[in-house]
Structure 1
């Protein structure tokens, strides 16, 4: 009976949360918010992910090394990390809609420069500009989700929003590869610009201002606000966990297409079908995983997703020339595990910051993620070596490093899960006293 009362009070302690919030249907406006943020995330993710399948083509056409390509990937991450830190102190002082539109406009401009880049150095500079603006957009989107949806619904919301990752696999990357093979590697970036302009206009026209957090602000200046965030022990756990999550993902991603083509024996013409198959599986499983994380617990889904990912990563990184069906199967299973990790971790981490710190926390989290990912990509570029025949050596070592980071991340996410539950219990006890 006491446990039941605590659970009920825990629900009451969260504003606008109800016992059935996890199962409640979305309103029409919530559907719009989920859809527009998913499409927005699609453009951001595609802009970053398209570099990986274009890797083999860029290395050949620009006559660059694997190390130079690693810096092209890292340039976005480092600049995104720097802008996240700079924006963190101001993230909670403006209407989130206006902030989103400002950074999205800069992202579109940077992507346009990528589509016009004539050489390696211009492309490198264009990726820096794109990262300065694009790296903050994800954190603003997550802050909007946290503002508008209760914790019990965020697993479902993240399930749909993270479908942008899968959609980029199903539609974005195959179409981009087709355009790149037909009209050159610049064309995918120009496609992203066209889609992004439409998304930006829809946000400007239909999204309502998001200002509730402004009522919670104090007179702290931006730098004191930032210092308070980075010195909060509760928040530091989240930053440490996101660092490890990014390290694992960014190590394998930049060289995935080159490994598939040169080491696994899958030709460039078949590559779009491979990305499409893995993306479809992620689209199917994404919403289901989101619902499971709300029902079974976000950490439990993250744990088993991590176990599945670790096992398949080791298998994948040690494969040689393989039939297409086997490569498809391994990639599909691996992406299901990655999707489970992404959705459950994203939903759980939204519960870490207080309302008044939400924008700043998300900005710093994005910054930490991008910087650690950039370092991981650059480090991976130093480990992986391309032979004269084109094959990549030491890719298996990257897989073992991903497994190691995943093991540590499991422990870190457990600590976060316990901390979030303790925070909810404390609010529940406070609510019990008020009700009493």
Structure 2
């Protein structure tokens, strides 16, 4: 059973971009957080006397904390003030990062980073729902893609800044800086953010909210979108987690060079995310399957991974990495917009599952690829293969749409 969005905008209006900017600042910090650790893996590993694959559990702790908590928290907070939910999540996130900065052992660092992930898992679904609910009907794809772009944009400033701070003072200070940024964002949201007009709606019981969230799994297009996200983000970010080590070994990149590379890669991810939104809006208004662009982005991602890691020349490798991250960012934005548009009445739950799938994909990709020789033929084949499988799933979703026979309507109101 599937449910597909109507392809025509249903309402006019203005998108409150200044209000969106307040929560974009949180996404900016989340993006910096997700991409902060890869350049620091070597320092963390040396500090705790472990291998880089063991240190990579710091990344897995964050993404698993997010993936496990986000769908449940989205269901339990349904009907509450989005502003209050966002404030609570940001506070937990900041406290988790302070715990990272003070962690005396690797297990404590992993656990503290998991707390940060739980904070993100609480705040992000409310933010995504707010963006989709308050955007003008003809700009929903753009509003969601701008949020994803700011998420990627955190990498532009956060990664090089973190690398420079780590080079001067060690790996702990970058976590303090992000916690400080989150504290400032918390104050701005507390003072300036307004709940959307429809926020005060009757709450379901906790059991009913959880059943509604789980009920989304009855729909094949929902399941397919989650699978595509898991696979493409396992390839995109799971493999990227080791790029710092690979580029350091092959090209002698130090922390400063990796920071600059991270900024460039962030710009690539941001560009891909921004491009995906208008594409989705255009395809939606012309009645074409929303999943079709995802096929192209996933194929481009697979090709870029091979092009980056199979060469032994720095300039082609860097150019390939930029395309890799742009295509991966577009994959994520496309899937997020698809769910936000299709499952309108259950947007927070739908996007929370997609975010959980992204983070689960990162954890699986990081763990799987960490078992292979970094940069080897097997590593390259596995990373590109994950993206290729994502393209196949997107093709299946497109066929479902083309063949028809699905209930149409922008809201997934039948999910109970």
Query: What is the SS of the residue equivalent to 1:263?
Result: helix
* C-alpha displacement of 1:191: 0.7
Match of 2:319 among 310, 329, 333: 329
Given the superposition, is the C-alpha separation of residues 104 and 281 from structure 1 closer, same or farther in structure 2, using an over 3 Å criterion? same
Residue 347 of structure 1: which of 337, 354, 368 is its match? 337
Give 1:303's match in structure 2, choosing from 279, 291, 295.
295
Answer whether contact 1:306 1:341 (CA < 8 A) is retained: yes
Asked if the contact 1:53–1:177 (Cα under 8 Å) also holds between the matched residues in 2, the reply is yes
Structure 2 distance, partners of 1:130, 1:198, is 16
User: 1:155, CA displacement in angstroms?
Assistant: 2.8
1:370 CA displacement: 2.3
2:287 is matched with which residue?
A: none
Q: Given the superposition, is the C-alpha separation of residues 417 and 157 from structure 1 closer, same or farther in structure 2, using an over 3 Å criterion?
A: farther
Aligned with 2:216 (options 229, 237, 258): 229
Q: What TM-score results when the alignment is normalised by the length of structure 1? A: 0.81
Residues 117-137 of structure 1 show CA distances to partners (whole Å, capped at 9, x for unaligned) of: 233222122112112222343
Do the aligned partners of residues 276 and 354 (structure 1) sit closer, same or farther apart at CA in structure 2, a change above 3 Å counting?
closer
Q: 2:235 matched to which residue of 1?
A: 248
Contact 1:136 1:366 in 2 (8 A): no
CA shift at 1:65, angstroms? 1.1
Q: Matches of 1:236 and 1:289 in 2, distance apart? A: 21
TM-score, normalization by structure 2? 0.85
Distance in 2, Cα, partners of 1:68 & 1:402: 19
In structure 1, the partner of 2:305 is: 313
| CA separation of 1:247 and 1:347: change in aligned 2, threshold 3 A | same
After superposition, the C-alpha distances for 1:325-372 in whole angstroms (9 at most, x for unaligned) are 3333222222222232232222222123241x2222332333333234
Question: Which one of the candidate residues 252, 255, 274 is aligned to 1:265?
Answer: 252
Query: Which residue does the alignment assign to 1:146?
Result: 132
What's the secondary structure of 2:201's corresponding residue?
helix
Alignment of 1:324-403 (within 5 A): 325-355=315-345, 357-384=346-373, 392=374, 394=376, 396-403=377-384
User: What are the Cα deviations for residues 170-202 of structure 1, in whole angstroms up to 9, with x where unaligned?
Assistant: 211111111111111111111101111111111
User: In structure 2, do the counterparts of structure 1 residues 290 and 238 end up closer, same or farther at CA, with 3 Å as the change threshold?
Assistant: closer
Counterparts of 2:266 and 2:355 in 1: how far apart (Å)? 24
- Give the drift of 1:62: 2.3
Give the aligned partner of residue 87 of structure 1: 73
Counterpart in the other structure of 2:27? 41
Partner of 1:411: 392
Q: Contact 1:81 / 1:366 at 8 angstroms: preserved in 2?
A: yes
For residues 129-140 of structure 1, the aligned pairs below 5 Å read 129-140=115-126
Distance 1:348 1:154 in 2: 10
Q: Note the C-alpha offset of 1:393.
A: 5.4
User: 1:245 touches 1:406 (CA, 8 Å); kept in 2?
Assistant: yes
Give the deviation of 1:222 after TM superposition.
3.8
Q: 1:215 to 1:420 in 2, by over 3 A?
A: farther
RMSD: 2.9
Distance 1:426 1:82, change over 3 A: closer
Contact 1:136 / 1:363 at 8 angstroms: preserved in 2?
Answer: no
Distance 1:383 1:135, change over 3 A: farther
- 2:178 and 2:245 map into 1 onto residues whose CA distance is 23
In the alignment, structure 1 residue 60 sits paired with structure 2 residue 46: yes
CA distance, structure 1, for counterparts of residue 227 and residue 265 of structure 2: 29
How far off is 1:424 after superposition?
A: 9.4
Q: Secondary structure at the residue paired with 2:341? A: coil
Stretch of structure 1 that moved more, 55-64 or 255-264: 55-64
Residue 215 of structure 1: SS of its match in structure 2? coil
* Alpha-carbon shift at residue 217 of structure 1 (Å): 5.1
How much has 1:257 moved relative to structure 2? Answer: 0.7
In the other structure, the counterpart of 2:162 is 176
Secondary structure at the aligned position of 2:252 is classed as coil
Is 1:275 aligned to 2:267, yes or no? no
8 Å Cα contact 2:27/2:154 also seen in 1: no
Pairwise CA distance, 1:48: 1.8
Alpha-carbon distance in structure 1 between the residues aligned to 2:184 and 2:400: 41
Deviates more, 1:99-108 or 1:136-145: 136-145
Distance 2:362 2:266 in 1: 22
Single out whichever of 210-219 and 300-309 deviates more from structure 2.
Answer: 210-219
